[in-house]
């Protein structure tokens, strides 16, 4: 009888939703059609239940094709993993014709379809494979219940399922509104105020100013100023750098702080920044600053959320977030100035830091301890590698940048002192260091020392036009016109577009 099939439909749905925690996608009480879903072993299982009598094979096939189209049209809701469709038909009698292979031309490897025809003789038997798949016990449904009792129970069953659906929605909404983004706004204010202060006392694009106020400067870190790993998170190089990072912090920070709460957010942000800073120390010889490592750590936190709530992740931010991460990494690989070490390191650090604290109301002590140990080992290993320069033999590059700017400021004594110290272990930057020192010697009038350095430079790199030009000026001052002309000609040949080189050469030829 129809009412008994309806009773079985809602009794089965009640068990799946209330007892087994399947998620309700759609309820249509008038048509007696219910759509559920559940993630199991990295697959999304979509369940459609209906009670209708299918007398003929073709009738069943048409209904399945319609169901299949409905799901494929909405498949974007289930992106991020393999989807399986389970279609249940609850009926008093089975179809007249053979129906078991009805899915043969409907099912595909991308979207497998399984049919369960639950007629009165085989309701429990045909339900067993589905329940075994999820390692659940098949519910016992009493069919001896009278119609009057069924009519009284149906509204209760429907009400409980609707209530469970509403509670599921509330739980989902509560995930995104766990915390309030107070610290995000505080960090925005701190970063902007520090930037304004740096601009007031100097220039945020000045290497010397950045080093003075705590930028990541590898030689100083090696000498024990490890705190630069943390302070560099709050410095920015120019207005555009500040704007891009604060724009990202505003959107990512508010999302992560709402998801994880304030203290978890602070923990993730700081540990991401430290991890990214140490990765930069290990891989990047340049003077560096910025909140990028910590901000990429927020990407890591959102990716961890995606691992915990795969379907919810892909239905909300998933693919957009993955696209932005890939775009940023690709941009970093194409643009040499971008600190990829800090970015990728920050994202990995953010994922590990989030695994340590996990989502609110989630506790897995063993996994949290493993994440903490992994973070500690990785951080100490990167710091050791950076300290000994095993993956970055270019630590003197930052000293080249520093002494070049010191020359521009006229701090020649300091240039000579710093370059002489750096030349004890110059790596591949011996020529630029010697060039910077020779310039300082020339400005101090020590032409003999300058000449020795410049001759060494052109010996190391005969195509450095600037070294030949400076030698030409030096020999001009020493009244050695032939040597001056020779080096001026070489400078003009190497860089014909430089008007000063051509002008000096023309003067010396007269």
Active-site amino acid positions = 292, 343
Please enumerate in sequence order all residues whose Cβ is within 8 A of that of 288, keeping only pairs 6 or more positions apart, or say none: 215, 216, 232, 280, 339, 342
Burial of 17 (C-beta count, 10 Å sphere; 0-12/13-18/19+) = buried
For residues 301 and 256, is the Cβ–Cβ distance under 8 A? yes
Tell me how far CA of residue 79 lies from CA of 85, 126, 485, in angstroms: 14, 29, 70
DSSP 181: -
CA gap 401, 209 in Å, rounded: 12
Tokens found for residue 471:
């030698």
For residues 354 and 268, is the Cβ–Cβ distance under 8 A? yes
Please enumerate in sequence order all residues whose Cβ is within 8 A of that of 463, keeping only pairs 6 or more positions apart, or say none: 494
H or E segment and range at residue 502: helix 499-509
Task: Show the CA angle centred on residue 280, arms to residues 336 and 241, nearest 5°.
Answer: 60
Instruction: Identify any residues that bridge with 24 across adjacent strands, giving them in sequence order.
Output: 36
Which string of b and e fits 73-104 if b means at least 16 CB within 10 Å? eeeeebebeebbbbbbbbbeebbeeebeebbe
Helix, strand, or coil (residue 317): coil
Tokens found for residue 475:
């020999």
What is the number of other CB atoms lying within 10 angstroms of the CB of residue 233?
Answer: 28
For residues 235 and 277, is the Cβ–Cβ distance under 8 A? no
């Amino acid at each position: 009888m129809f009412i008994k099939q309806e009773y079985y439909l809602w009794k089965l749905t009640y068990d799946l939703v209330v007892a087994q925690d399947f998620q309700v996608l759609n309820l249509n009480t008038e048509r007696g059609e219910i759509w559920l879903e559940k993630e199991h072993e990295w697959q999304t299982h979509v369940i459609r239940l209906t009670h209708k009598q299918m007398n003929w094979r073709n009738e069943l096939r048409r209904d399945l094709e319609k169901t299949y189209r409905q799901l494929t049209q909405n498949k974007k809701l289930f992106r991020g993993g393999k989807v399986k469709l389970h279609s249940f038909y609850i009926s008093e009698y089975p179809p007249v014709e053979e129906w078991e292979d009805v899915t043969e031309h409907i099912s595909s490897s991308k979207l497998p379809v399984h049919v369960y025809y639950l007629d009165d003789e085989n309701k429990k038997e045909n339900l067993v494979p589905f329940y075994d798949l999820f390692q659940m016990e098949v519910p016992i449904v009493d069919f001896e219940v009278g119609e009057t009792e069924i009519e009284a129970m149906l509204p209760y069953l429907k009400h409980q399922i609707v209530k469970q659906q509403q509670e599921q929605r509330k739980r989902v909404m509560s995930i995104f509104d766990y915390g309030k983004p107070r610290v995000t706004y505080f960090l925005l204010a701190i970063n902007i105020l520090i930037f304004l202060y740096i601009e007031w006392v100097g220039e945020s694009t000045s290497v010397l100013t950045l080093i003075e106020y705590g930028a990541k400067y590898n030689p100083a870190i090696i000498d024990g100023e490890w705190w630069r790993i943390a302070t560099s998170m709050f410095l920015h190089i120019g207005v555009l750098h500040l704007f891009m990072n604060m724009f990202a912090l505003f959107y990512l920070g508010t999302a992560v702080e709402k998801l994880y709460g304030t203290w978890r957010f602070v923990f993730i942000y700081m540990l991401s920044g430290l991890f990214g800073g140490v990765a930069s120390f290990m891989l990047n010889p340049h003077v560096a600053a910025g909140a990028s490592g910590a901000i990429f750590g927020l990407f890591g936190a959102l990716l961890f959320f995606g691992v915990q709530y795969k379907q919810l992740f892909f239905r909300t931010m998933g693919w957009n977030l993955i696209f932005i991460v890939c775009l940023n990494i690709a941009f970093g690989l194409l643009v040499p100035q971008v600190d990829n070490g800090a970015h990728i390191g920050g994202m990995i650090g953010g994922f590990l830091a989030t695994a340590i604290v996990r989502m609110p109301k989630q506790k897995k002590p063993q996994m949290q301890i493993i994440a903490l140990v992994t973070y500690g080992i990785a951080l100490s290993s990167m710091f050791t590698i950076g300290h000994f320069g095993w993956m970055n033999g270019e630590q003197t590059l930052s000293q080249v940048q520093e002494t070049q700017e010191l020359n521009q400021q006229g701090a020649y004594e300091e240039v000579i002192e710093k370059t002489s110290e750096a030349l004890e272990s110059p790596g591949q930057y011996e020529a630029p260091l010697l060039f910077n020192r020779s310039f300082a010697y020339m400005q101090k009038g020590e032409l003999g020392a300058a000449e020795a350095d410049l001759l060494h430079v052109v010996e190391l790199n005969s195509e450095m036009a600037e070294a030949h030009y400076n030698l030409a000026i030096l020999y001009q001052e020493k009244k050695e016109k032939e040597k001056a002309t020779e080096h001026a000609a070489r400078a003009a040949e190497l860089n014909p577009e430089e008007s000063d080189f051509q002008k000096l050469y023309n003067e010396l030829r007269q």
